[in-house]
Amino acid sequence: MYYRWEQDALYLDCSIQPKSNEDRIVGPVGESLKIRICAAPTDGKANKQLIRFLAKKFHTKQTAITIVNGQTNRHKRLCIKKPLTIPDGLDMVEDRLT
């Protein structure tokens, strides 16, 4: 499973594809959530764009999203504190939202 809830925080195991044509959530692939990001993986640009993109998708502030593991890797574990919505197409339990 690519996600888990711990109290009001959502943890995601993600596989990031930088230098893509568009920012989008592809969906679950194996044990991770595949996400495509336009930015190049240099100087932290892809990480910053990933956080901006997910903040919009989960309707939360950028400061509520942290990269727990994988700062310099395509495979990352993210923590989203108090997400307000779950993006369409993801099967996470939405009743956990406040």
Domain 3-96 fold is: Conserved Hypothetical Protein Mth637; Chain: A; (3.30.1200)
What digits encode the pLDDT tens for the residues 17-32? 999 999 999 999 999 9
Which regions in the chain score pLDDT beneath 50?
Answer: 95
pTM: 0.90
Q: Where are the domains of the chain?
A: 3-96
C-alpha pair distances (Å), 24 with each of 5, 7, 33, 38, 98: 22, 27, 11, 9, 25
Collect all residues with Cβ–Cβ distance below 8 Å to 54 and sequence separation of at least 6.
35, 65, 78, 80
User: How does DSSP assign 30-80, residue by residue?
Assistant: TTEEEEE-SS-SSTTHHHHHHHHHHHHHTT--GGGEEEEE-TTSSEEEEEE
